[in-house]
Chain A
């Protein structure tokens, strides 16, 4: 594909494309801590952010990075951090704070082999359920995944938009293969890119209730220093932002927190289907594995097998409807993952039709190859 007027065709690495996407979405603050295989995101942003009047800071650890991006976002600046497994563990504490205080921010986790220090330079998808459930307490969160350099760009923009719109932290799960793959991508002109900014209050400060229910379920957000003095706390709070333990207020608040995501389901859930029209067997995949799955489906079609693929871009909230219809349509579904089966648990959960599910798990630090998936497609 060729770039048209105003577009740019360039060779980029996945991590670089995330930077391009973040800047295009309006990210102007980044705090991070060095970690393989995410460090390029920090390095490139330390060069690019000051150029656009933004701020880069390297903090003392990932706990601090997460605190700093929440602080900057409270001050009205779109913010991001990027890390990998061990740092992602540290981020969990303040991630919960961002959930309960409804502070928009984007967290990139370039997944590597775990647990612990694990396989720092190898690929894995072991943090999927951690991204959903890592921080304590029931909390709403959005988790997106990327499978190519071009998605690194587009999904990052989407992540910022969803985060701003729903006032919720958004996690982008990348992985070592996507992060370090170089591909040529076409970057759209800035004016072709849809950018959503958080809605700020239009009422006079004395009328402002920072956590009041409205028809979107997402309160307007005032930045500190803009005249709307209010209290922000990680304690469960009433609509004015002050701590409360009144059962009615607590329930109302937590319900709103979850309902705002449920209401936005159709906008948040993103999947891609390939050759699914007449598929009798399909692969459900995400991240770099989706690339192998795509190749495997093409090869299977060459052999006359009616194969298809569903790629999950949004992992949480879980794309239940699309997965459900794929399960009903196909006689078997193959789920290749570079973990012990984290998304396949979700798929089992929605498998009302009792369709045959074949897990394919690889945890040796290497990417699942097309031929491994093709074997399954042939055998069913």
Chain B
């Protein structure tokens, strides 16, 4: 165990001036970063072939610390940059790390369209129910009734269920994990990276400093333990009533379907364009028709 941790530290972390990191003690982001690195290590993916893009916020800082091709983009736009990279160099493994506000508020449109488009990209969304970096304002996943710096009287809006949103938007693979279930998270990230098509891993994480503190959810350990108590494996949840599921959430693979991947589909477009161009050229040669331009 220690040995593997040491390999990961030496092999994948950037050692030149990038530490200490910006995250608060007890933050779940480190667990997600660790799970991601273990997944990449287990899959034996070459570092040069990995592109890690992020948006803005606490999650946005994650790529800074790891030794891949890293792109810290604008707020909510990580997937748009990832789309450009993937289409330009389809051989690269493109992974986007985002937060809940990042991916589903300002980047919500990009998120659902990336799922619909089904490029071979992996999206990891760290959901801590708040905008941590800017001081704990309510996000699209802040629970109804919760307090935040912009909902001190209790939040009157309803939360997104990110994983289910990804399923209906058309992602090929959708899973949900938590920072408590670290090994499980590592396995699901591996599955997501290997999966052809747009894959999403939503990670339920803790922001005890902003969300937890204002809603009396306890310290980091207590919050992370609550994920253990409230997480219900997908299979088990099927047999449970809505009342039983109150205050709980599912973890595991929510969706795993096969559908054409548009990164590969575009090769067909290129072939179709070639075929059409040669057909026009033949027609021209045969009829002597001068088209305005070839």
A69 to B83, CA, bound (A): 9
8 Å CB contact of B51 from A60, A73, A224: A224
8 Å CB contact of A232 from B47, B70, B87, B109: B70
Chain B, residues 145-175, CB within 8 Å of chain A (1/0): the string is: 0000000000000000000000000000000
Check A29–B88 contact: CB distance below 8 A. yes
8 Å CB contact of B49 from A11, A225, A231: A225
| A240 is an interface residue with CB less than 8 A from chain B | yes
Chain B, residues 77-106, CB within 8 Å of chain A (1/0): the string is: 101111111111101100000000000000
Chain A, residues 140-159, CB within 8 Å of chain B (1/0): the string is: 00000000000000000000
8 Å CB contact of B88 from A55, A59, A67: A55
- Closest-CB distance, A150 to chain B (whole angstroms): 15
- Closest-CB distance, A259 to chain B (whole angstroms): 25
Check B89–A59 contact: CB distance below 8 A. no
**14 more A-B residue pairs beyond the given contacts A50-B266, A71-B53, A72-B84, with a C-beta to C-beta distance below 8 A:** A29-B88, A31-B83, A51-B274, A55-B266, A67-B81, A73-B88, A75-B84, A75-B92, A224-B51, A229-B67, A232-B71, A233-B71, A234-B74, A243-B64
Give chain B residues whose Cβ lies under 8 Å from the Cβ of A224. Answer: 51, 69, 71, 85, 89, 92
Check B71–A74 contact: CB distance below 8 A. yes
Chain A, residues 42-82, CB within 8 Å of chain B (1/0): the string is: 00000100110101010111011111111111111101000
A sample of 12 inter-chain contacts (CB < 8 A) reads A50-B269, A50-B274, A68-B80, A69-B84, A71-B83, A73-B84, A76-B88, A77-B89, A94-B80, A225-B91, A229-B48, A242-B18
Chain A, residues 71-97, CB within 8 Å of chain B (1/0): the string is: 111111101000000000000011001
- Closest-CB distance, A65 to chain B (whole angstroms): 8
Chain A CB within 10 Å — which of B64, B89, B274 has the most?
Answer: B89
Give chain B residues whose Cβ lies under 8 Å from the Cβ of A73. Answer: 84, 88
Q: Given A75-B92, A229-B48, A229-B67, do A234 and B72 touch, yes or no (CB 8 Å)? A: yes
Chain B, residues 252-272, CB within 8 Å of chain A (1/0): the string is: 000000000000001001101
Query: Which chain B residue has the least Cβ–Cβ distance from A64?
Result: B80
Q: Given A64-B83, A224-B89, do A231 and B270 touch, yes or no (CB 8 Å)? A: no
Check B74–A67 contact: CB distance below 8 A. yes
- Taking CB atoms and an 8 Å cut-off, the chain B residues in 31-56 that contact chain A are 47-49, 51, 53
Check B74–A75 contact: CB distance below 8 A. no
| A216 is an interface residue with CB less than 8 A from chain B | no
Q: How large is the interface on B (under 10, 10 to 19, 20 to 34, 35 or more residues)?
A: 35 or more
- Closest-CB distance, B105 to chain A (whole angstroms): 14
Give chain A residues whose Cβ lies under 8 Å from the Cβ of B70. Answer: 229-232
- Taking CB atoms and an 8 Å cut-off, the chain B residues in 1-33 that contact chain A are 14, 16-18
Chain B CB within 10 Å — which of A61, A79, A233 has the most?
Answer: A233
A77 to B250, CA, bound (A): 42
Q: Given A10-B293, A242-B18, do A63 and B83 touch, yes or no (CB 8 Å)? A: no
Determine the main DSSP class of A at the interface with B: mixed
Q: Given A67-B77, A97-B74, do A11 and B292 touch, yes or no (CB 8 Å)? A: yes
Check A75–B273 contact: CB distance below 8 A. no
A232 to B53, CA, bound (A): 9
8 Å CB contact of B72 from A51, A71, A226, A231: A231
Chain B, residues 162-194, CB within 8 Å of chain A (1/0): the string is: 000000000000000000000000000000000
Closest 3 CB pairs of A and B: A71-B84, A67-B80, A75-B88
Give chain A residues whose Cβ lies under 8 Å from the Cβ of B48. Answer: 225-227, 229
A65 to B87, CA, bound (A): 13
| A193 is an interface residue with CB less than 8 A from chain B | no
Give chain A residues whose Cβ lies under 8 Å from the Cβ of B77. Answer: 63-64, 67, 93-94
Chain A, residues 318-360, CB within 8 Å of chain B (1/0): the string is: 0000000000000000000000000000000000000000000
A19 to B126, CA, bound (A): 41
8 Å CB contact of A57 from B17, B81, B83, B273: B83
Check A229–B87 contact: CB distance below 8 A. no
A57 to B119, CA, bound (A): 12
| A119 is an interface residue with CB less than 8 A from chain B | no
Give chain B residues whose Cβ lies under 8 Å from the Cβ of A242. Answer: 16-18, 64
Check B88–A71 contact: CB distance below 8 A. yes
Check B292–A10 contact: CB distance below 8 A. yes
